[in-house]
Homo-oligomer: A and B are copies of this chain.
Amino acid sequence: MSKNIRIVIIEDDQIIREGYTLLIGQTEGYAVVNSYESFDDAAKTITDDNPDVILLDIELPGTNGIQAIPRLKRLLPHTYILILTVYESEKTIFEALANGASGYLTKNTPATRIVDSIREVKDGGGPMSVNIARMVIKSFQRNQESPLSKRETQILEQIAEGKSRSLIARDLFIDLETVRSHIKNIYLKLDVNSRADAIKTAKENKLI
């Protein structure tokens, strides 16, 4: 026995919604069990749909897609959420992922890729459009041209972990005064004069 993957679509544009429904419904092994034009609409009955995967748009009337994610998660803890949107701003992407989305596709994604991604999400993958994946990877990467030396960077990291000077000194097997000295240089280079500002500046410039 082969069970279909149960899919719900939340998308306000009727044309797109029906397009996806048709596309996915045609595909062997996939079943669109319901579709809604807003989260507020979906919230009432979506638990009865018992979907495996929800295709979710970001721009929705009322509750937007980002806000909808944690609520959907609460309604359906074991359902995967796949974002399908035109939004490509970094903020939106990271919010969506942080809120619990399992994948993020932009709307120019080819039909076959969408269908594949639904399967992928259900199999524990994390499908992303190429440009999204690039942004995600970039978010991990440090600034290569940091003004800070290795040691300074290392110490700044520990500061960002909330460690006191003495703890840092102990953990790095150096003197308390050395830590102090490094911190002074860090402040000089970053043109700040407090831990909070140093961390802020460092994060903004991806130094840590």
A162 touches B160 (CB 8 A): yes
Chain B residues with Cβ under 8 A from A138's Cβ? 126
Copies in the complex: 2
Interface segment among A4-12, A56-64, A117-125: the answer is A117-125
Residues of A in contact (CB 8 Å), total 43
Chain B residues with Cβ under 8 A from A120's Cβ? 130
Beta-carbon nearest neighbor of A202 in chain B: B162
Q: For the A-B complex with A73-B144, A100-B142, A102-B134 known, give 10 more contacts whose Cβ atoms are closer than 8 Å.
A: A77-B144, A97-B141, A100-B141, A101-B137, A123-B130, A126-B134, A127-B133, A128-B133, A160-B160, A162-B194
Q: A residues touching B (Cβ–Cβ < 8 Å)? A: 70, 73, 77, 94, 97-103, 120, 123-128, 130-131, 133-138, 140-142, 144, 159-164, 167, 194-196, 198-200
3 A-B pairs with the lowest CB-CB distances in the bound complex, closest first: A125-B130, A126-B133, A162-B195
A-B contact pairs, 21 of them (CB 8 A): A70-B144, A77-B144, A94-B140, A97-B137, A98-B142, A99-B141, A99-B142, A100-B141, A100-B142, A102-B134, A120-B130, A124-B131, A125-B130, A125-B134, A126-B135, A128-B133, A136-B136, A136-B140, A160-B162, A162-B162, A162-B200
